Amino acid sequence: MTKLSNKVIVITGSTQGIGKAIADACGKAGAKLVICSRNNEHVNEALRYFKEKNYPVSGMVADVSQTEDLKKLKDHALEQWGHFDVWINNAGVSTGYRLLEHVPDEDLRKIVDINLTATLLACKMIIPYFKQQGSGILINMSGRGGHGDHAAFMVPYTATKAAITTLTQSLAKENADHPLSIHSVVPGMIDTGFFDSVETDEAGRRDMKSLPWVMQAFGFSPEEVGHFFVRIVAQQPGKKTGHNYSMLKGFRLLRGILMISWFKIRGKI
């Protein structure tokens, strides 16, 4: 029996990048998967990828900022597997790497809808299900800003991720009397190719020149994130809750700080 045998895991935004890496690691550990994306082609490609690995998997197109789509995703998981044990709110977007004054209003509304409102809607729907079931693990994806840290040129993103950490800890306290685990995760800088095609302005492009060196010092691969999530979802529900997990700590953090100091001495940053 593998680490996640018999666990059913729903992961939003799981056809590319970090979400796909989480699904891949969980599938390898024996979990049954439910994936989704707003893009039908991406869903079909990811389903083919996971089925070629013989993972038990199902998926559908869903815009998680829409209550009706979230309900359809929940119903799909129940129809396919009869229940689910873990729900991971991973879906997220960015407004690029630019000054706030250069971000269109529609992009601001979109990032709040997908990064924050969608997470609130999913939590509102899933927590009662886990209470009725008698157990469950709910994980919200935080990110840069999730520790209260700042990030110039990513103001809307950091604002939504700071909110994710706070709402997660508040929900954990609200539901502390139930056998549920409600956590957030700050994965750190992940090499998903995001900065290869990100929208920028002149100020953002100047600042981005140091990003390859920062990524080298503090970055993680998507595969490392996937393995990190496996350890979290393997825990016993309710044993602990309200934790804000961070990948960048201990030796990795110290190594990154030393590397950045060395890059500055060499004039790279």
- The predicted model scores a pTM of 0.93
- Nearest in space to 18 (alpha carbons), one of 28, 29, 26: 26
The 10 Å CB-count burial string (b at 16+, else e) for 169-182 is bebbeebeebbbbb
Averaged pLDDT score across all residues of the chain: 91
Sequential DSSP letters for 7-26: -EEEESS-SSHHHHHHHHHH
* Cα separation, 267 vs 259, whole angstroms: 12
Domain ranges of the chain: 8-199+219-250
What are 263's two structure tokens? Answer: 């890059």
Which residues face 35 on adjacent strands?
11, 59
Q: What's the pLDDT at 254?
A: 77
Predicted confidence (pLDDT) per residue in 25-45, tens digit: 999 999 999 999 999 999 999
Give the containing element (helix H, strand E) for 52.
helix 40-52
Asked whether residue 1 carries a pLDDT value surpassing 60, the answer given is no
Give the containing element (helix H, strand E) for 155.
helix 155-174
Cβ neighbours of residue 94 closer than 8 Å, sequence gap 6 or more: 111, 154, 157, 194, 198
Asked whether residue 7 carries a pLDDT value surpassing 90, the answer given is yes
Predicted confidence (pLDDT) per residue in 170-191, tens digit: 999 999 999 999 999 999 877 7
CATH code of 8-199+219-250, in short, is 3.40.50.720
Asked whether residue 101 carries a pLDDT value surpassing 70, the answer given is yes
